[in-house]
Structure formats: C-alpha cells, structure tokens
Amino acid sequence: MRRTFTLFATLVLLWTVLAQVNHALAAWRIYLFGGGLFVAFTALTQPRRSGFAAIVLGGLVCDANTPVAFGTHTLLFAAAHLTLFHVHERVPRDDNLTAIAVVLLTNLALFLVFSFLQIHDSPAPAAMWPRLITDLLCSQVFLALITPWFFALQARALLLARVDRPNYA
C-alpha cells in the first residue's frame, strides 16, 4: 500500500503543477495535456497491481477537475497503463531518451483519443483542429522537458518511502 500511495502522491503533485501551468497559460489560450506522464513511470518500472491502483487514483483526480464524463481519464489511463505494462520488458528503463519517447508517444495516443471523444460536442469540429494541434505541440515540448525530472522525482519518492532500493545497492 505504501508504494501505491507514494506513487499517487507524486501524481497529485504532477496534477497540481499542470493545473498551475495551465492557469498561467490561460491568457494565451494554451492548454497542456500530460496524460502520458501520468502513466509511463508506473507502467515501465512498477509492479502491475500497485502501479495500476496509483494510475486509477490519479485518473480519478483528473476526472474530478475536468469537464468530461466522470471516469474518462481513469479508463483511458488504465488502458494506457496496461498497454505499456505489456511491453515494459522490451523498453530500456534507464535511458532518459527512451523514457521521453515513451511519454511522448503515450501522450500523443491519449490526446488523440480524448480529442476524438470530445470533439463531437463542439459546434464546429473542423475549426477546433488548429487549436488542438497547437495544444498538442506545446504539451509535447513541455513533457519532453519535464519527463526526466518527474521520473527522478517518482524514483526518489519511492526511495524515501522505503519501498524501492537504489540502483547501485
């Protein structure tokens, strides 16, 4: 349980950071989506059960604050987690470039699924795509910059909670 709650606490921190950055960017009408970062670390490095529980809790936090059907984030984060978990043995886990690539691809997939699920509510769906592409590009740049920091934060939080041992031990 300690592993799950530690991972969940880091996801709440990520949610808070993204909310504050999005608030600051609201004047420019830019929205950053960080779904790939919510999922990648736990799917690539943690046991399935505790990682899945943390992702579900993190998805519920995201669902509580967004104007989408409740459970949308939770369901899509869980699906992304299970998909990544099935390939995690083939992905190098100690390489920052690989971690960034996994986060960016996962974020792209989640962003597109969210966009297609929500675009039908728009009065002019075709007019939304330029803004969505701008949001996606800004989100990907932001995630490429903070992924190494957030992965290190999650790894350090697990060490401080004494649920993981350091790589050099």
Range in 23-32, 93-102, 108-117 with the lowest mean pLDDT: 93-102
pLDDT given at position 145: 97
pLDDT given at position 168: 37
pLDDT given at position 169: 33
Across 66-92, average pLDDT:
91
Which pTM was predicted? 0.90
Q: How confident is the model at residue 138 (pLDDT cuts 50, 70, 90)?
A: very high
Cβ atoms of 33 and 134 within 8 Å: the answer is no
DSSP H helical segments within the chain, as ranges? 2-25, 35-45, 48-65, 72-87, 96-118, 125-160
Per-domain residue ranges of the chain: 2-160
Across 25-46, average pLDDT:
94
Cα gap 16→151, rounded to integer Å:
16
* Residues with Cβ within 8 Å of residue 8, at least 6 apart in sequence: 53, 54, 57, 58
pLDDT digits (tens, 9 = 90+) for 142-156: 999 999 999 999 999
